[in-house]
Structure 1
Amino acid sequence: MDIRQLTYFMTIAETGSFTKAAEKLHIAQPALSIAIKKFEQQLEMPLFHRSDRQIVLTHEGEVLIQHARLILQQVDDAKIAMAELKGLQKGEVRLGVPSMLGSYFFPDILMGFKSRYPNLKLTLVEAGTQSIRLMLLNGELDLGVIRSADLPDSLEAEPLLTSEMVAVVSPNHEFARQSSVSFEQFFSQELVMFKQGYFHRDYIDHVCQTHQLKQHIAFETNLLPMILSIIRQEFAISALLEMVTRHESGLAAVPFEQPVQLSLAIAWRKNGYLSIADRAFMEFIKDHQRHRRCQSV
C-alpha cells in the first residue's frame, strides 16, 4: 500500500466514477482501472461494487476510506510544513528594539539567526518602547520589545528578560564607592537621560513623580554612545540596565537602595499574521534563552 494507491482510491470514491477520477488525476482510465485492480489483489478484497451506472464502495472500501482520509491529510500537512520551511529561504523579520537591548542583548541572537537562515532579511528598528508599541499596532513592525507592564489588549507577548536598572557613574564619582544609592541621592545629581518614550526614561520619570523628587536633566539624547561618553567624562550620571556596565569599561554600576527590576517582553499584534520567518525567529530566541539559562546553572 502506498500514497499513490490511496490517492487513486480516494479520488474514485469521491467522484463515483473511474472516468471522472482519471480526468481529475490526469491519467488514462485503463491505467487507473489496472492500478485499482492490482491494489485490490494486494489487499485480497474488493474495494468497489462496479456497475454500468455507478461505482459504490464495498464494506471493505468503507473501512479503508476512513484511514485513507487521515493518511492523506497527514501527507498534505507534511507537504505544507516542508513548503513553509522552503519559505525560510526568503522573507523578512521586522523587529523593534530599545537602544540598550539592540546594543547588548540582541547582537548574538541576530548573528546566530542570520547564520542559520542566511537568506532571510532582518530589519532592526531602534526606538523607544512607546514608539515600538505604536509601530506594532500600525503594522510597521512584526515583533517588538516593550515593557511587560505596558502591554495593551491588542498585543500578545512572551516574556523576554528581567534586568536590574542601576545608577551608572564614572569610577571617580563618589557614588562608585557606595554599595547602593538612594533615589534622593540619584536625583540630586545632574543627569543624562534618553528622551521620553524610552522605557528606562519613562520608569525614572515615574519614580521621580512617585517619590515627589525633581530631576536635573543636563543632557537628553537617544544616542547611547553619547550617554556613555558623558558619564565617563563626569559631566552627568544616568540610570541604565545593568547589562550595559557588564560590556562597557570606564563605568561603575551602583544598585538603587530600592532595587529596580524591569521586565521586558517581545510582542506582536494579537490579530496579526506572524510569518514563518517571524515564528522561526521567536523559536530561535527561546532556544537562545534556554541555552543561556543552562549555562548559568
Structure 2
Amino acid sequence: MDIKPLRYFIAIAKTASFTKAAEQLNVAQPAVSMAIKKLETDLGLTLIHRADRNIVLTDEGKKLLFHAQKIIQATDEALLEMSELKGLSQGEVRVGIPGMMGSYYFPPILMAFRHKYPTISLKVIEGGTWQLQKMLERGELDLSVIVADTLPASLETQALIREEMLVTVATDHPFCELDKITAERFFKEELVMFKEGYFHRRIVDKLAQKCQMTPNIGFETNLIPLIKSIIQQGFGVSTLLAMVVEQDDQLITRSFDPPIWLDLDIAWRKGSYLSKANQAFLDFVCEHGQNYGKV
C-alpha cells in the first residue's frame, strides 16, 4: 500500500477539511480528494462521511486512523534512522516544556545547547504537562518534561529535577509570620492558579481532594508575571516553584506543612527511535540541567 494517502487521510482527520488538509500538505485539493477516493476503493470501505460540508470519520475511518498514525510514525522513524546512518549532521528536536519551567529553568540550557550544536533545530512546545504527555504519546513530540508520578507504561524517562512547591504571598500577608503553612490554612485564602492541565494546578487540586476542601480560586491565568502581580497587590495567594520566585519580586515564600516536592522527568516513547539530535539533547539536559537551572 502506498502510504502517501495515509498522510492525506490523517491530515483530513485532524483538520476536518479537505481544503485545510491540502494547504497543510502543500498539495492541490483535487489530488487529496482523488487519493482518498482511491484509498476507499482499494479497501472497499467508506472512510469519510461528507454531509453539509461537514467532514466526519466513519467507524471504519476511525479504526484506520489508529493504524495509519502508527504506520506513518514507524515509517518516519525508519527513514530518519536510515538517513542518520549516512552521517547527516543536522537534525530537529521537538520538545515539550511546561510554561513555568520554560520561563525560568530551560532558557540557559536551551541557549547552551544551541551554542554547542548550532546545526540542530530546536522546536519548543509550551503547554500543560498532561497535554504535552499526550502529544508525546501520539508522536507529535520527541521528548517532553512530565510529572514523574503520572508515568504511563508507554514512556521511558530520565530524572530531571526536584523542586519544592512554595506558598507565595505578598510581603504584608499574615502568612509571613509563620514558618510553614498547612493545606487547611492555604485553602482558606483566595487563590491565583494556573488553568487546568498544568502541573501547578493539578498539585493544588490533588491537595484539596486529600484535605476534602474546595479551593477558592479568584484568578486563573498561565501568565507568571500576572500571577506575581496579583499576589504583590494582595488580591490572592498562590504556590510556585522555588526557581520562579526571584529576590526582587517583593514576594514571600513559605513551605507547606508538610513540604510538597515535585519530581519532573524528561520522557520519550518506549521502543521508539531517538535520533542523534534527540539523543544529544537528552544527554545534554541530563548532564548539565542542574548546573544551568540554578541561575
TM-score normalized by the length of structure 1:
0.67
Residue in 1 aligned with 2:232?
A: 232
Matched, 1:261 2:261: yes
Structure with greater proportional strand content: 2
Secondary structure of 2:204's counterpart equals helix
The Cα shift of 1:248 comes to: 5.5
Residue in 2 aligned with 1:19?
A: none
CA–CA separation in structure 2 for the residues paired with 1:260 and 1:118: 38
The Cα shift of 1:265 comes to: 0.4
Return closer, same or farther for 1:128/1:173 CA change in 2, 3 Å cut-off. same
Residue in 2 aligned with 1:71?
A: none
- How many residues matched? 212
Higher-Rg structure is: 1
The Cα shift of 1:246 comes to: 3.7
1:142–1:278 Cα contact (<8 Å) kept: yes
The Cα RMSD (Å) is: 2.1
The Cα shift of 1:96 comes to: 0.6
Residue in 2 aligned with 1:72?
A: none
Q: Deviations over 1:117-137 (max 9, x none)?
A: 112111111111100100001
CA–CA separation in structure 1 for the residues paired with 2:281 and 2:154: 21
Return closer, same or farther for 1:273/1:248 CA change in 2, 3 Å cut-off. farther
Matches within 5 A, 1:161-172: 161-172=161-172
1:84–1:276 Cα contact (<8 Å) kept: no
1:164–1:260 Cα contact (<8 Å) kept: yes
Residue in 1 aligned with 2:23?
A: none
Residue in 1 aligned with 2:141?
A: 141
Return closer, same or farther for 1:166/1:142 CA change in 2, 3 Å cut-off. same
The Cα shift of 1:289 comes to: 3.8
Secondary structure of 1:235's counterpart equals coil
Residue in 2 aligned with 1:178?
A: 178
CA–CA separation in structure 2 for the residues paired with 1:257 and 1:247: 23
CA–CA separation in structure 1 for the residues paired with 2:249 and 2:265: 28
Matches within 5 A, 1:27-176: 87=88, 89-176=89-176
CA–CA separation in structure 2 for the residues paired with 1:149 and 1:270: 17
1:156–1:267 Cα contact (<8 Å) kept: yes
The Cα shift of 1:249 comes to: 1.7
Q: Deviations over 1:98-147 (max 9, x none)?
A: 11111111111100000001121111111111001000011111100111
Q: Deviations over 1:63-82 (max 9, x none)?
A: xxxxxxxxxxxxxxxxx9xx
CA–CA separation in structure 1 for the residues paired with 2:170 and 2:85: 51
| Residue segments in structure 1 that go unaligned for 5+ positions in a row | 1-79
Secondary structure of 2:101's counterpart equals helix
CA–CA separation in structure 2 for the residues paired with 1:162 and 1:225: 23
The one-letter amino acid paired with 2:263 is: S
CA–CA separation in structure 1 for the residues paired with 2:191 and 2:116: 42
1:104–1:247 Cα contact (<8 Å) kept: no
Secondary structure of 2:180's counterpart equals coil
The Cα shift of 1:291 comes to: 4.9
CA–CA separation in structure 2 for the residues paired with 1:244 and 1:145: 17
CA–CA separation in structure 2 for the residues paired with 1:162 and 1:84: 37
| Residue segments in structure 2 that go unaligned for 5+ positions in a row | 1-80
Return closer, same or farther for 1:242/1:191 CA change in 2, 3 Å cut-off. same
TM-score normalized by the length of structure 2:
0.68
Q: Deviations over 1:146-190 (max 9, x none)?
A: 111000000110111111101011112111232111111110010
Give the % identical residues.
Answer: 45
1:169–1:231 Cα contact (<8 Å) kept: yes
CA–CA separation in structure 1 for the residues paired with 2:131 and 2:144: 10
Return closer, same or farther for 1:247/1:265 CA change in 2, 3 Å cut-off. farther
CA–CA separation in structure 2 for the residues paired with 1:187 and 1:258: 15
Residue in 1 aligned with 2:200?
A: 200
Matched, 1:271 2:263: no
CA–CA separation in structure 1 for the residues paired with 2:241 and 2:283: 25
1:129–1:197 Cα contact (<8 Å) kept: yes
Residue in 2 aligned with 1:51?
A: none
The list of structure 1 runs, each at least 4 consecutive aligned residues, that deviate by more than 4 angstroms after superposition, is 83-86, 290-293
